[in-house]
Amino acid sequence: MARTRVVIDTDPGVDDAVAIMLALASPELDVVGITTVVGNVELEKTTLNARRLVELAQRPEIPVLRGCASPLGGPAGTAGEVHGRDGLGDLVWDEPTVGEGSEHAVEFLYRQATSGPLTIIAIGPLTNIATLLEQHPDVAGLLERIVVMGGASFEGNVTPAAEFNIWVDPEAAAVVFGSSCRIDIMPLDLTHQAFLDDDDLARLRAGGTTVGQRLADMLEPYADFHMSWNGNRNLIMHDAMAVYEVISPNAITKQPVKVQVETGGTFARGATFFTRTRRSTSGNLRVGTQVENDAFRVLLHERLATLS
């Protein structure tokens, strides 16, 4: 099997945690590193969480590299009310023995892009990716693909207009979507089709693996948040959709699109506007539109069960 060489750029975050575990459990991917960015919580915490997750997956060989501590557009809010104060559901953890690399995430990403085919799976604000494109413009011609969890075709989740990853750093998103890179975007209207429920949490616990138990535990506050937000405990698997797209490229229906990001505005900052008419699309951008949740959940449980 030809494996896809990837770096995951992330702001863990409990849905990031599921996405990262799915990636590490999938033989289709060769995860060569995890880079962290400020987002759900501060960079110090997202980086510690990435270390915790690499250790939980028993993959100490995967380097963790810290990236940008502040969005291009200046400090934004975080999402501790969704992911817990520590970003991973506020569980008790031992200090991870897995360290972090000394190289900046952006330099690591560039070095990986220049040393072989590379797909970036971007599941947090796009600050690191925009900085990579600005500091190393040649990288746009080197990257195989960037798969982004972000944006919303119809309604945001931070404001009625803006989805969180874009809302945190709209300037970065505008740089990334305005580049010549091949980009596939998984917006909220796609990710809301993919969710876990209490039966899935019970199945994770019944699986008897430490990974399953810890994921179920860290997802509990996320379920409570969904109950307060949506009136049900369905856990939306936003970030896992970006990983799923790389593992199973035909599982998510996609269509060519043009994307514009609102970087100004009083009420609409961070909004993403998708134009889907054929004549408007630039050819390098696609948006995910449809996914079968049952098929996703079968694959997710199968893969997570392999992480002892």
Least distance from ligand RIB to the Cβ atom of residue 102, Å: 26
Site string for Ca ion, 235-264 (x = CB under 5 A): ----x-------------------------
Should residue 281 be labelled a site residue for ligand RIB when binding is judged by CB under 6 A? no
Residues tagged active-site: 238
- Which two tokens mark 146? 């960037």
What stretch of H or E contains 286?
A: strand 285-290
> Using CB distances below 5 to 8 A depending on partner kind, what does residue 157 bind out of Ca ion, ligand RIB, none?
ligand RIB
Distance CA 231, CA 140 (A): 42
3 state DSSP class of 32: strand
Task: Please report, as residue ranges, which positions from 104 to 143 form the binding site for ligand RIB (by CB under 6 A).
Answer: 123-124
Give residues with Cβ within 8 angstroms of 50, minimum separation 6.
Answer: 10, 12, 20, 34, 36, 64, 100
Among 15, 55, 100, 217, binds ligand RIB (CB under 6 A): 15
Least separation in angstroms between residue 149's CB and ligand RIB is: 5
Binding mask 164-203 for Ca ion (x = CB under 5 A): ----------------------------------------
Task: Name residue 4's beta-bridge partners.
Answer: 29
Question: Under the criterion CB under 5 A, does residue 16 sit at the interface with Ca ion?
Answer: yes
- Which of residues 110 and 188 has its CB atom nearest to ligand RIB in the complex? 188
DSSP one-letter string for 199-250: HHHHHHHHTT-HHHHHHHHHHHHHHHHHHHHHSS--EE-HHHHHHHHHHSTT
Contact flag: residue 65 with ligand RIB (CB under 6 A): no
Among 47, 165, 193, 289, binds ligand RIB (CB under 6 A): 165
Please state, in angstroms and rounded to a whole number, the distance separating the CA atoms of residues 247 and 23: 8
* Binding partner of 163, given ligand RIB, Ca ion, none, CB within 5-8 angstroms per partner class: ligand RIB
